[in-house]
Amino acid sequence: MKTTLLAAAFMLLLIVPASTLHANAQTSGQSYSITGAGSTFIFPLMDTWRVQYNNLHSNIKLNYQSIGSGAGINLLEKKTVDFAASDAPLQPDEEAKAPGVLTIPDSLGGITISYNIPGVAKGLKLTGPVIAKIFMGTITTWNDPAITQLNPGINLPNQKILIAHRADGSGTTYAFTDYLSKVSTDWKNQVGQGKVVPWPVGTGAQGNAGVADIVKTTPYACGYVELAYAYQNNFTYAYVQNADGNAYVEPTIASVAADAAQAGSNLPPADGDWSKVSIVNQPGANSYPISTLTYIMVYKDMGQISGETPGRAAQVVDFLNWIIGDGQQYATSLLYVPLPDSIKKIDQQGLAEIQFNGSAVSAVPEFGPVAALVLAVAVGSIILVSSRTGLKLAPKL
């Protein structure tokens, strides 16, 4: 009886390390699964990155969940994902909950003022203050003098403007209201900037696709939608007056990139305070003013992520370096705007700072064979011990 108990205890002693080593052998071998969560806006591009990166590195699997920017940041605060993707920078209260987060811009977006006025083509000219008045409900009809004055020669109907806006919390709303707050003090004081704002007028729809659907199906509707959605739906959209006030700029990939390139020199370093960052309304004749950055957020010290290994952290850094470098070539075909060089440089400097428990992330040590050897020894000794003691596994009834 005594020997049986002793042998059982001994077996337990061996099984425990053997099984943990076995688990280690699986995670720190050749294959890695990187996890990310957040922005729905970036998802189509992120999914292309996932596929293309997997073609280059078949051992790396990305699991990206497009659950919304805010939800992604919540997961980052809980330290359960390798990185979060967000359309808005971390706000001060979020920074306080997740200290030591690097902000890495990974793509750009432009926001169009799309409209559906039968008989009117794209290129209605609008200024920032007029757009603010339309979305505040102070300009209510399409033939309001404020609009016709900017568009001589275009026959605008005496019809009510039907406003469509986002109902869900959204980075697109954050950037659009950022622009309106910059160009209109009335907007800034009465409505303000945020992912969800108190819209004075209009109908709310879910997602860019929802707003796009309203604009598409409702004559005399007007809404703000991402460039990609406006292009895909063949929308008519407004040309918006630039910050210099000397031209009306069409929203295109080039004009959004021109705006961002202007902003690049004023951005903080990746570990700086991004909460006030805005790239709307930059100078330059060809800068489309309603532009926005979208970000990846990752801990400077990745050791604090639960279940993180130095090997996986190194792979995350490699992947992020790839998306801001070679990965940018896939942006244009999906109607995203590639990063200008000035922003890429900030990203690269930021990613170089990433550490794992205080030491730089570097090449992956090969634990696999060692773990397998230890496992073999452990299993062998278990067999040996049980044969010596004659321990029977089934308990007597």
Report the nearest approach of another protein to the CB of residue 367 (Å): 36
Q: Which is nearer to another protein, 179 or 319 (CB)?
A: 179
Taking CB under 8 A as the criterion, the residue among 7, 8, 67, 379 binding another protein is: 67
Q: Which is nearer to another protein, 77 or 271 (CB)?
A: 77
Tokens for 263, please give them.
């902003």
Burial 122-161 (b: 16+ CB within 10 A, else e): bebbbbbbbbbbbbbeebeebebeebeebbeebebeeeeb
Q: How many helices (H) and strands (E) does the chain have?
A: 14, 14
Report the nearest approach of another protein to the CB of residue 103 (Å): 16
198 binds another protein (CB under 8 A): yes
Report the nearest approach of another protein to the CB of residue 177 (Å): 8
Q: Which is nearer to another protein, 218 or 321 (CB)?
A: 218
> Which region, judged by CB under 8 A, interacts with another protein, from 26-34, 141-149, 205-213, 334-342?
205-213
Q: Decide if 292 contacts 251 (C-beta within 8 A).
A: no
Q: Decide if 261 contacts 285 (C-beta within 8 A).
A: no
Q: Which is nearer to another protein, 297 or 351 (CB)?
A: 297
Q: Alpha helices of the chain — where are they, by DSSP H?
A: 2-27, 43-56, 69-77, 92-97, 128-136, 145-150, 171-183, 185-190, 207-217, 227-232, 253-264, 310-324, 341-352, 368-389
> Which region, judged by CB under 8 A, interacts with another protein, from 17-25, 198-206, 296-304, 312-320?
198-206
Count residues contacting another protein (CB under 8 A)? 39
Tokens for 229, please give them.
């959605």
Residues of span 109-168 touching another protein by CB under 8 A: 160, 162, 167-168
The residues that touch another protein, with contacts defined as CB under 8 A, are 67-71, 73-74, 77, 91, 93-94, 97, 160, 162, 167-170, 191-206, 210, 213-214, 217-218
